[in-house]
Structure 1
């Protein structure tokens, strides 16, 4: 290799390194000017309303550990949460899916590469009134309830038309469309649970973590509703048996309506969103998910301390 080529390669390499360093320094400077770093500052975090309870607990623990951090959770139905993200209401969002290519194009044009992490798994749960006789439901019955074939037999209620639970079931059951006259939308998961607790002959569609939430709070609603067992006749572990959503059934893949929970960070800087994402995927955040009764993305480690007892002579 002649000297001229060596000098050229060295120059190109030096310019690349300098450009990269300048870019990183610029990001750090912008973050500093905003009064924010990975454990300090203020940030809005959009969250799918159906998984709000588990994220509220995560935020409470995070803020108690890092007093200079202020996280404002903005609970929205899935579609409205995504629209708010695209409207720059926040750079961080918690969803049960990743953005579509069409939705992500907005950030691609701005050269923002998302930091996407799965933090755990939730489920879509079906509930009825404790006074009703049914304790289980087949997948074909769920499908016929949503496409209107059983219209008038049972009333199906869910949070609203922008919900992730309805979108999930439509995709899972390969429904071309859902009969809008066969279902009724309310405002949120809490209202769905309350409605079902007060009305026989109804089936509610909710996020499983809301069931865990009312049980943890020892709400009287827990005694007035029943979580239905759902037939497992689709997917890799189909056996035709019926399973309720539970941590073990989510872990074994036996309950059919399992869905992931993602934290999607579209912040262009190294801000508080990155610190919160790291907390959610770290040992403490995963333990909170495990303790709540959901399935963490990674099983937290267990520390076993072995003490040597003094032997008696």
Structure 2
């Protein structure tokens, strides 16, 4: 039993050692991979370092050239075209400088003007305040005088109100008269309508007569008209309307007669053209029929004849 337990213990220890060996192998493999990656990265860094050193050398050379250029005059490095352009721009630069000086002077003048404006505003405000006080004193004195004027104005208002009432009363009277005259006009208009249609010379005949005379004649005419109350007073108007309607109907009848004549002529023309077309077509068919029949029947002869009977077309073949 002790040997068996010892063997199991040894086997377990061996398995544990194998596991540790495998882990160490894996760590070694990972280390080798990291070493390779570090080597590649180091090579890249070395290459980058060389590039940086080259760039630094180029910058140093450029700095030396710039220092040499700074030691010489700028005009010496310009092309003839640039020198010409610079000579052309110098007057403009000078003019702009003069404008700058002028603007500065104008600005100084504006500042001085603002100061003067402020001073004038202060003086004006002081004068206006004093003037306001004087006006208030004048207004207070004028208020005392206005009290007297108010008393006079009240008297004038009373007088105006009285006249206004009188005019309103007169206006009411005029309106009453207007309504009365309007009622009379309506009454006279109604009476004229009751008389029936009148000729135009009637108004000229009675235009200069007095109203009293006209009323007298009107009553007399009404009494006389009572005898003819059974007569139609609108007969003349009806006759005129019927006459106009008859003339309109006669005119329409004449137009319809002319239209009927035109339509009949058109129908006749269409019938004639139809007959001619049918006859022309039939002749063509008959000619074709004779030719076909002679080809089908050797030595035979046939005609296609149109028989008209009671306006019904018939056909007969003879041989």
Compare relative contact order (CA 8 Å, sep 6+) and give the higher one, 1 or 2.
Answer: 1
Query: What TM-score results when the alignment is normalised by the length of structure 2?
Result: 0.18
Structure label with greater radius of gyration: 2
Higher helix fraction (1 or 2): 2
Query: What TM-score results when the alignment is normalised by the length of structure 1?
Result: 0.18
Higher strand fraction (1 or 2): 1
